[in-house]
A and B are shown apart, each in its own frame.
Chain A
Amino acid sequence: MSSRLRIGVALDGAGWHPAAWREPSSRPAELFSPDYWVDLVRIAEEGLLDFATIEDSLALQSSERSGPDDRTDEVRGRLDALLIAARVSPATSHIGLIPTVTTTHTEPFHVSKAVATLDYTSEGRAGWQVKVSGRADEAAHFGRREHPGTEVSWGDPAFDVLVAELFDEAADAVEVVRRLWDSWEDDAEIRDVATDRFLDADKVHEIDFEGRWFSVRGPSITPRPPQGQPVVAALAHAEVPYRLAARAADVVFVTPTDAAHARAILDDVGAAATAVSREGSPLQVFADIVVFLDERDGESAADRLRRLDAVGRPLTSDARIFTGSASELADVIAEFGALGYDGVRLRPGVLTDDLPRIAGDLGAELRARGLFHDAYEADTLRGLLGLPENIPSRYAAV
């Protein structure tokens, strides 16, 4: 079923609604326990979802863009997403695992070996959602970089310059990570007893990256991961991040509000790919949707959202907020598919309620329409996404 749509789910805390943790099904005291995360990803895997992304950042959650908000009525605190994915990996077998890793303050060498290792522990199911940090409070956690401060923000020319530079730096970081993944050819480990050589040094390469922000020599300490190139994803809302995605990613998550917007985004992403002369596989485009699904014989999703909005801070979102039945959501998803989207990434409003409905009701609905698979057809995330597998190292002699 090569034309099927791909469905991913985005995991964050108790769900994407600020009051999600207060729902009867929620497990707010367990947000930092491994079982909670294993249970969620297993539900997604039972529903044959293609991947789960795990959100992260290098600052405490906040309703403010520039710093902490001092709220005590919402989920605050989170674990390292890559380590959650690694913890979940041996407890699952097919679903792709895509943790968020912020590149602004971390070393590309560390990111490279961490994602490569997730690919080993998951046996080929690793991805990485690249994230840039433009926040002053995150910079202050590291104390190493100049930052224009908390007074300036999006739209301010000084901040826009910073943002453009951060995305360029992130593109360099991804380039370094990808080169490091390729720095060992697949057959570099030879274990040749006759010549007493474990390794063929001619198949292990320095990457010698020299950029504006950093230089990295390589090779990686970690041999080439099972997928060769684990999947790189990025969330993008505008031209600068579209260009990052077109330069560096396999998958882009975008946030269309309606069909017209969805068409426009596809054009913009296509233009970005042309502008950066993208080569290789086309950038896969996934629409992000925040999802509240109707309870069978129970509360409607719209009522539920209204109820949750009244509890504390109403939900606001960069992505479209959907409320309705699984069948209505399948209509929306089918429409994205018809426009040329590769799939959707669904952000459950309340993880413990909406994820099981996505995995159950929605999956069944899409399957009935011939839009979704009824069994995992590949063992790797690249395979599930229909990306080329067995891609050779760029350093391999032709």
Chain B
Amino acid sequence: MTTRSRKQIILAAYVGGVNEHTLWEHPDAGSQIDFSTFRHVAQTAERGRFDYFFLAEGLALRARAGRIFEHDIAGRPDTLPVLAALAAVTSHIGLVGTLNATFNEPYELARQIASLDHLSGGRAGWNVVTSFDAFTGANFRRGGFLPHSERYVRAEETVATIRRLWDSWAEDAIVADKASGEFLADADAGAFVQTSSQFDIAGRFTVPRSPQGRPVIVQAGVSPQGRDFAASTADAIFSPYATLAEGKAFYADIKERAARFGRGPEEIKILPAAGFVLGDSQTDAEEKARHIREQQLTDKTIQVTFEQVWNRDLSAYDPDGPLPDIDPDPEAAPIIQGRAFVFQDRFETVRKWRELADERGLTLRGLAHEVSGKAAYVGTAAQIADQLDAFVQEDGGDGVVIGSHIVPAGLDEFVDQVVPLLQERGSLRTDYESTTLRDNLGLPVPARDAELAGIEAVR
């Protein structure tokens, strides 16, 4: 057994889409919906010994001023069936999907994720998100919206309830002894009761304990409430902080919060999303990155980027002109709907942007290049390997969630060129240690909560 002196980099892969980063105009761009696209990315990532393939979710098409937004990629498949199908064409890579805790009930989510865990031999993970907007709610019978203050309450109770359901079958509940005729060891298999502020449910869960027992739970969240929620319950955090300085601060904060919840630093992994642009030289990569940014930030994309913050129709403003001299209008109906609003304070954001634009003489286009997400890793394969390794070894994170601006083949060059360099330096596995996601991530296997308080009293 070899001892590892270096932290092992955790890699996840996502399929870019429904954002301005993914270039549908590129000649190499393929389908965003055909299964072959997802198969290609997942198999490429598995070839690169990635920990997991990650699939995001959408529950409403984005709209601008009440009209479906036409200028970026739109349309996604449903998360779970894609992951289940990918389980057929991969053998080791984890399969993690975003599933909304607001518009799904715990019983169905628990059985779907546990089913995926069985169907993949222990490779399932769930990225927990919540929705609060009535725009998305209009697609569901639940309708309406969830007050912001209740989002985490519902999310926390959903996760707790789902864990209860996952724990409702003992590991050895199924005997399946043909001779004795005993299929179940216990007539109570799957019995559960859960009472909380959001849920009052009881009965029998249909899915036996899955290979991972508890599939891996991933969360995102940067507010203090979100950080505590993740630090207390998540196995991994999908973070927005891909630079070393920001990453280190977030990393230290989360691991410290986790300790307060009695969890060790190895029990929660931190993984920012990161794009990359590979070149033959630094100059070549930077030139490519600049060209990609120009394609990503079309006039319409720039307009929408700023409309999201101003919450006003800015179509009259020249993208090559100055910033609008009017204030944001937070009271108006949202002009951009169906995409996450990432800016905390509209007025403060605009104030900072005006300062930056004045200082550097930036037009709207120039500002958009500065403030909207850039690829975290731009350089030669060796440079990217160095930076990524340093990011992990210096505790900027435990790894990254890598996406390419070209779907589906963009990840190939990362796997062909960067992965071998990471493997050479001993920072990335050359083969999988296990067939379960939890093991590959180096996460401890949580014990089943066998107490299941209340079950005996009810029955």
Contact = CB atoms under 8 A, between A and B. Distances in A.
B105 A142 contact: yes
Contact of B183 (A33, A73, A196, A223): A73
Given A79-B119, A144-B105, A120 B77 contact: yes
B181 A312 contact: yes
A189 interface: yes
Interface string A12-54: 0000000001111010110011100010000000000000000
A314 B89 CA distance: 40
Given A82-B81, A118-B81, A196-B71, A21 B88 contact: no
Interface stretch (B196-204, B317-325, B379-387): B196-204
Given A60-B206, A83-B112, A90-B35, A140 B84 contact: no
The SS class assigned to the B binding surface is: loop
Contact of A140 (B25, B140, B203, B298): B203
Interface string B123-161: 000000000000000111111000000000000000000
A33 B117 CA distance: 10
B182 interface: yes
Contacts of A213: 141
Contacts of B298: 196
B74 A76 contact: no
B300 A143 contact: no
28 contacts: A34-B120, A76-B183, A77-B206, A78-B206, A79-B114, A79-B207, A80-B115, A80-B207, A83-B84, A84-B115, A86-B82, A89-B88, A91-B88, A107-B104, A110-B104, A113-B78, A120-B34, A121-B35, A121-B81, A142-B105, A189-B75, A197-B70, A198-B71, A200-B70, A216-B139, A221-B76, A223-B33, A311-B181
B246 interface: no
A286 B85 CA distance: 29
Nearest to B205: A60
A63 interface: no
A86 B84 contact: yes
Contacts of A271: none
A140 B178 contact: no
Given A60-B205, A137-B204, 8 more contacts: A22-B178, A24-B178, A84-B115, A117-B82, A120-B77, A199-B68, A199-B70, A199-B75
B21 interface: no
A113 B202 CA distance: 28
A114 B24 contact: no
B297 to A, nearest CB: 11
User: Which of B39, B140, B206 has the most C-beta atoms of chain A within 10 angstroms of its own C-beta?
Assistant: B206
B169 interface: yes
A143 B190 CA distance: 17
A21 B180 CA distance: 12
Interface of A: 21-24, 26, 28-29, 32-34, 38, 57-60, 68, 70-80, 82-91, 105-110, 113-114, 116-118, 120-121, 123, 137-138, 140-144, 184, 189, 191, 193, 196-201, 204, 213-219, 221-223, 311-312
B458 to A, nearest CB: 11
B178 A77 contact: no
Nearest to B80: A83
A116 B75 CA distance: 12
A110 B80 CA distance: 10
